[in-house]
Amino acid sequence: MPIPRNSSLPPSEAVRDTEPNTSLPSAGGTVLQLTGLGKSFYLHEQHKTVPSAMGVTFDVASGELVALVGPSGAGKSSLLKSIYRTYLPSDGTINYRTESGALVDLATANESDIIALREREIGFVTQFLHCLPRQSTRDVVARPLVRLGVDEREARERARALLLRLGVPESLHDIAPATFSGGERQRVNIARGLVVRRRLLLLDEPTASLDVTARDRVIDLVREEKAAGVAILAIFHDPAVVAALADRTVTVHPAAAADATREVA
């Protein structure tokens, strides 16, 4: 089961391996392993295929944050969306070790299994907030907890506490976030993504539209996720955030330039 945030918890050059591991440990070890992962897009009107990131191989361990870096357009966001299965990968495997110890290839898993994993184990904070219209900010953040069976009153209180930690004033909690500024909307997005503690967390430029104060609050929350053993794969616009949070970086090169990734300790 996922762990709500308020629960107490016990606290090189080439990234491509010639002999990648096929057995992932179930606890305290590798949670996610990508092998030869690639995503390409077919342009029907032009009858041609455009590659995004290709041949990507690395892993992410429990309690570790791996940051994807590289030029714009290299395919970093496409990798995260392929792992979350917003995109269907074109090549490779995405081995994910579930909380129960099962090994699941997210590249080929059926849709019902993917939906179940998203609900309970795999979280994704995207670049932009998407939510139901006219839903209050507090309810947007509380909804993942309610879907897991948490009492609605308790879920709304946890949402309130997390929004306050992120600097969203209580006067805004009962207002739909559609009217908010970009930075306010992104803080709501982050709160929704972190209100349930997942086993694997994907972050796609969560701090890009935040001021320094809000950014530092997010850094503190992500550090708590790492300390709790969450495996995190992230894209950050700000090199200072990468320096503050990343245990390793993986450089993603444009597919046209190199069919590879490079890892920096």
Query: In this structure, what are the phi and psi dihedrals at residue 48, rounded to the nearest 5 degrees?
Result: -145, 160
Reported for 80-83, long-range contacts at CB under 8 A and 24+ positions apart, including other chains, are 80/124, 80/202, 80/204, 80/233, 80/235, 81/39, 82/37, 82/39, 82/107, 83/32, 83/34, 83/122, 83/202, 83/233
The whole model's pTM is what? 0.84
> When comparing pLDDT for 161 and 3, which is higher?
161
d(CA 30, CA 20): 12
CATH class of 13-121+198-265: alpha beta
If one counts every other C-beta atom within 10 angstroms of the C-beta of residue 134, the result is 8
| Host H or E run for residue 153 | helix 152-165
- Kindly list the domain boundaries of the chain, sorted by start residue: 13-121+198-265, 122-195
Q: Average pLDDT, stretch 243-263? A: 74
Q: Which two tokens stand for residue 176?
A: 């739909």
d(CA 46, CA 23): 41
Each residue's pLDDT tens digit, 217-230: 999 999 999 999 99
Each residue's pLDDT tens digit, 71-107: 888 889 999 999 999 999 999 999 999 999 999 999 9
